[in-house]
């Protein structure tokens, strides 16, 4: 009996040490931090149809073992006449681990022309699970991203040795599924914005053709070729034309944008 008790106590202690000494990923994040604000304008043809605003805020919320987090909020909405016949107001929130740039909590509130989605995910990274808040848990790899944290995590990737055609990939959990997100490096280009010209790296996401896009290159985007790694323009070909999203306002960057 004493032996059984000793084994039980040892097992409990082992679980405790395992929790406190969990080997979490560690990332040297030089791209973004608390206080960063980005605003993008979404255009259809020559008309501004909507905007997307992203902000990184402080938070008292903690991950497992009291890990400090950042609170990133993204809001997308239609503008002007577009709101009259198809109003969009979407809010996405994620709580990102400061050290590993992986999410612990995710919140999604979608309202698009009366179509609504409400999601509240808890990323139990230390247990390699995601709780969807509706009684289901999904097995995932540690470090898996959500829809918003993917934007920030991708900016921390090392592109310094990439060659044209190289593909980067990481996993994202959305709509109760694991998706591999892949981006192909297409080389460097100078992009002209309303604020001036800036050197960028061009990428092409590997998209699923047949549903929304006809060809692999129907979506391309450009990110600044500097420490910030900010997407400054996205172009997407859709059946009824071309939608473009471009950076119009920014503040709280770790490094000033270098316009030519």
Nearest to 102 by CA among 39, 72, 144, 165: 144
DSSP state of 163: -
Structure tokens at 183: 């981006």
Burial of 175 (C-beta count, 10 Å sphere; 0-12/13-18/19+): exposed
**pLDDT value of position 208:** 55
Instruction: Report the run of H or E that residue 50 belongs to, with start and end.
Output: strand 47-62
Structure tokens at 13: 């202690």
**CA–CA distance, 245 with 8 (Å, rounded to integer):** 58
Residue 3 placed within a domain: no
- As beta bridge partners, residue 91 has 75, 109
Residue 14 placed within a domain: no
Residues 72 and 54: beta-carbon distance below 8 Å: yes
Residue 35 placed within a domain: yes
Span 7-55, pLDDT tens digits = 444 344 444 444 445 689 999 999 999 999 999 999 988 888 999 999 9
Span 191-222, pLDDT tens digits = 998 888 999 999 998 865 444 455 666 889 99
Domain assignment of residue 207, given as a range: 30-249
Nearest to 101 by CA among 55, 151, 141: 151
Residue 231 placed within a domain: yes
Please count the structural domains in the chain: 1
Cα torsion 247, 252, 255, 257 to 10°: value is: 30
Residues 204 and 181: beta-carbon distance below 8 Å: no
Secondary structure (3-state) at 129 = strand
Residues 183 and 245: beta-carbon distance below 8 Å: no
Residue 237 placed within a domain: yes
Secondary structure (3-state) at 177 = strand
Residue 159 placed within a domain: yes
**CA–CA distance, 80 with 44 (Å, rounded to integer):** 13
Secondary structure (3-state) at 257 = coil
Structure tokens at 181: 């997100």
**pLDDT value of position 82:** 83
Residue 1 placed within a domain: no
**pLDDT value of position 260:** 79
Q: What percentage of the chain exceeds 90 in pLDDT?
A: 71
Mean pLDDT (the chain, rounded): 88
Residue 190 placed within a domain: yes
DSSP codes, 78-126: E-TTHHHHS-BEEEEEEEEETTT--EEEEEEEEEETTEEEEEEEEEEGG
Span 82-93, pLDDT tens digits = 888 889 999 999
């Amino acid at each position: 009996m004493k032996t059984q008790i000793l084994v039980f106590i040892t097992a409990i202690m082992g679980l405790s040490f395992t929790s406190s000494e969990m080997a979490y990923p560690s990332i040297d994040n030089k791209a973004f931090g608390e206080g960063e604000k980005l605003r993008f304008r979404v255009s259809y043809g020559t008309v501004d149809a909507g905007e997307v605003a992203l902000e990184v805020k402080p938070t008292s919320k903690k991950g497992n073992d009291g890990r400090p987090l950042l609170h990133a909020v993204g809001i997308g909405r239609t503008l002007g006449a577009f709101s009259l016949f198809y109003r969009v107001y979407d809010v996405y929130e994620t709580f990102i681990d400061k050290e590993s740039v992986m999410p612990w909590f995710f919140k999604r509130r979608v309202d698009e022309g009366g179509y609504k989605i409400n999601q509240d995910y808890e990323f139990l990274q230390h247990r390699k699970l995601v709780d969807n808040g509706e009684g289901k848990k999904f097995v995932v790899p540690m470090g898996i991203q959500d829809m918003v944290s993917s934007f920030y995590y991708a900016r921390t990737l090392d592109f310094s040795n990439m060659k044209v055609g190289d593909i980067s990939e990481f996993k994202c959990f959305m709509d109760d599924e694991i998706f591999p997100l892949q981006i192909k490096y297409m080389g460097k280009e100078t992009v002209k914005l309303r604020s001036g010209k800036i050197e960028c790296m061009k990428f092409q996401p590997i998209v699923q053709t047949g549903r929304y896009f006809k060809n692999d290159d129907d979506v391309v985007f450009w990110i600044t070729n500097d420490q910030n790694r900010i997407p400054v323009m996205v172009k997407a070909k859709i059946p009824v034309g071309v939608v473009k999203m471009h950076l119009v306002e920014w503040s709280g960057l770790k490094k000033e944008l270098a316009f030519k």
